[in-house]
Structure formats: structure tokens, C-alpha cells
Amino acid sequence: MGFLNVVVIFLLACGLFFFFAGAVGILRFPDFYSRLHPAGKLDTMGLFTSMIAMALWVAHEWHLGDILTALKILLIVAFVFITSPTATHAIVDAGVRAGLLPWTKDSSEDKS
Amino acid sequence: MRFLALITILMVGGLLFYGTPDFPAWGDPESPASLHVSPYYIEHAVEDTAVPNIVTAVLADYRGYDTMFETAVIFSAGIACLFLLRIYRRKSTTTRLYRHNLTGITLRIAKGGKLPEGSAEFERIDSLWVPYDMIIKVTSRLVVPFVQLFALYVIAHGHHSPGGGFQGGVIFGAAIILYAISNDLRRAFRRLNEKAALLASAAGVLLYAGTGLMCLLLGGNFLDYSKLADLLYTDAIMARSHGILIVEIGVGLAVMAVMVSLYYNLSSAGRHDEGL
């Protein structure tokens, strides 16, 4: 029980770290494309670790109902793993089609 | 005229503010609603209707009229959007675009030319047509069946968990809209065309109201599902539970069809070609 607590807390802390880093990245990166990078990757990873922690926490007593709930949580993880990168891909695609050029060091020096 | 309207609005608003303090306090256990209305539902919902989720029992059974007219409101919203946006008169285009699916070559066929209509190799496209993105298309093909399955689960499981016709219908509509976004509108029309969507939205409301009318014909009040017991081969209590399921299916059908028809009209500004 104590060991499981440690694992769950560690995973939740990892999830919070990934979400926080993702938020910082969205705010701090210079342009549209590089901002989508933390938005797509770190949100998926943060959701993965925190959801695994929740599934472990729910299913720690090995009741059938709890295991079913944990399986549903794992299903959420699976679908987010499929859909979230696709959504990021679609947004990047829309940006390319709209003609937005990626940021380079030269383009930032031109503006300032 | 505008000044008169402002005066009226200010007076009505003032009256509303004047009446507000007479309401019972938020969450007051002594208020009439908490003393006379809620306890009955909380104590009798399960033995009256055999539905563990009290919200569903109140929504579709005790206050069935309310939900029926909510469905009618959604239906009329869809119809209003159709009347406002739909453009039936086509711009007389002189050319039509056809795409050869195997090679990706686009043919521009002038008026009077022979159209490859009904051919499996050619597909009619619009001038705003965008090439399919394989990643998006494959992912949506993977996800759409699960979304639809989940929508049916939400509709059918409304008796026991949060859910019901409105939520399930919206999820089902979202699945079809996802298909329409990831492919194009013409392909979505092949799955669910405009006429079918409108018929389904009307059929959903009709299913709800028809269930109520059936109860009336069998000698009960309007929407008194316990009178359906003989039709459904159950006792009066389970009949109310099944009656709730029937009207939830009606609500889900109407909401799904209205969502899809709203998307068709809004995304193409009523022209039903590739608008987005």
C-alpha cells in the first residue's frame, strides 16, 4: 500500500510537471509551429502519466468494478494518444496551407 | 421608438430586480421546492419508474412535457437555420470539376460536355477542394466507429449514469461531423444526405410525441408511460423505464440530425458544396 502510494504520487507529480512545462512552452516559444510542439507532445505525456496514476489508484484493491473503471481510464489514454497528435498535425497542416512561414533567427531580428 | 424600447426594458428589468429578493435563498432547505417537490422525487423515483438515475426519471418521465418541447425547440432551430441559410438556386456554373481518383488528375468539363456521372473512377469536386490528408483521414476512420458506439452507450445508459438523449445525440452528430471534416461534404452526403437528416430530426420529435399520444390512446394521460405496459409485455413500473428509453432514443435522433444539418448549412453557407 505504501509503495503504491509512492508510485501514484510520483506519476501524478510527473504529469503535473509535463503539463506545467507544456504551458510554459506554449507561452515562451517564438512562433505558431514551435508552440504547437509543447502543446501536442507534453499534454499527451502529462495526460498519460496522470491517467496511469489514477488507474493504479482506482484499481489498487482488485475489485472487478474498480478494474473496469481503470480499464475505461486506460481507454481514454489510448484514444487521446491517437487523436491528440492528429489534431496537432491538422493544425500545423492548416498553418502551412495558409502560408505561414516558420520562425528563424533572421526573421526575429528583422522585426526588432 | 428606440427610446420607448429602452424604457420598457428598464422597467421590466427593474421589476425583475424588485422580485428577486423574494426568492428563497440559494440551497435553502426550507424553500417550497425543497420541502414539497424534491423529496417526492428522491423518495419515489426508483419505486415509481425503476430508474436509479433520478435526473433521468425527472427529465423524461415526471417532467416529460418540458423535455418534449425542448426537443421541439432544437428541431425548430434546425429548421430555422435551414430557412435562413439554404440556397437552392445554383449559380449557373459553366464548368464542373471531376477528379480521377487513381491518378489525381482534375478534369474541367465545360457545359454540354459528357459528364462522367455514376462512374466509380471519377468523383465530382468543388473549386475549394483540398487534397485529402492521409493521417487525418485514417485517424478519423479509426475513431468514428468508437465515437458512434460511445454515443449509443450514452443514450442507452442514461438510466444508470449521467447521459441520455441530448448528450448521446450530440456525440453521434459530432462523429458524423468529424467524418465530414476529415473527408469532404459530398462524401458525408453519401452517408447521410440532407433529406435523411431532416427526416430523422422530424422523426425524433414524432417518436417522442407519438409515445405520448400512444399513452393517451391507451387510456392514460399524455406521456403516462405506465399505460404502455401491455404493449411492452411488462408491468407498469418497468413500462415507465422502457418509455423513458423510447423517448430518449427520439431525443437522440432529433439532436443528432439537427447537429449534422446545422453543420452542413453553416460550413458551406447554405450552398452545400465545399465551403470550409
Structural domain contains residue A112: no
Give B108's DSSP letter: E
pLDDT band, residue A1 (cuts 50/70/90) = low
Domain ranges of chain B: 49-86+130-267
Split into its structural domains, chain A has a count of 1
Task: Read off the pLDDT of residues B14-73 as tens digits, 9 standing for 90 and up.
Answer: 999 999 888 888 877 888 778 888 888 888 888 888 888 888 888 888 888 999 999 999
Residue A64 covered by a domain: yes
Across the interface, do B146 and A79 touch by the CB < 8 Å criterion?
yes
3-class DSSP state for residue B4? helix
Question: Which residues lie across from B110 on neighbouring strands?
Answer: B95
Tell me, yes or no, whether A103 lies in a domain: no
What would the pLDDT profile of A57-110 be if each residue is shown by its tens digit?
A: 988 888 888 899 999 999 999 999 989 989 999 899 888 888 888 888 777 665
In whole angstroms, give the CA distance from residue B47 to residue B219: 22
Angle among Cα A70, B157, B174 to the nearest 5 degrees reads: 85
Statement: residue B275 has pLDDT above 70: no
Mutate to test the interface with A, among B139, B146, B153, B171 (most CBs of A within 10 A): B139
CB atoms A93 and B142 under 8 Å = no
- Give strand ranges (E) for chain B: 95-100, 106-110, 122-125
Rounded Cα distance between B4 and B247, Å, is 45
Q: For residue A85, tell me if it sits in a domain.
A: yes
The pair phi, psi for residue A38, each rounded to 5°, is -65, -35
**Helix-strand-coil split of chain B, %, nearest 5:** 65, 5, 30
User: What distance, in Å, lies between the first and last C-alpha atoms of chain A?
Assistant: 57
Q: What ipTM is given for this predicted complex?
A: 0.78
| Per-residue pLDDT at B205 | 94
Q: Quick check: A83 contacting B, CB < 8 Å?
A: yes
Is residue A108 situated within a structural domain?
no
Backbone angles phi, psi at B36, to 5 degrees: -115, -30
Q: Within an 8 Å CB–CB cutoff, is residue A97 touching chain B?
A: yes
Whether residues A83 and B139 touch (CB distance < 8 A) is answered with yes
Confidence band for B90, pLDDT divided at 50, 70 and 90: low
Tell me how many degrees the CA angle A80-A83-A87 measures, rounded to the nearest 5: 125
B135/A89 Cβ within 8 A: yes
Distance, CA of B270 to CA of B86 (rounded, Å): 4
A2 in any annotated domain: no
Domain span holding position A75: 7-98
Taking an 8 Å cut-off on Cβ atoms, the answer to whether B139 and A86 are in contact is yes
The pLDDT value recorded for residue A112 is 46
Note whether residue A110 is domain-resident: no
Amino acid A9: pLDDT: 93
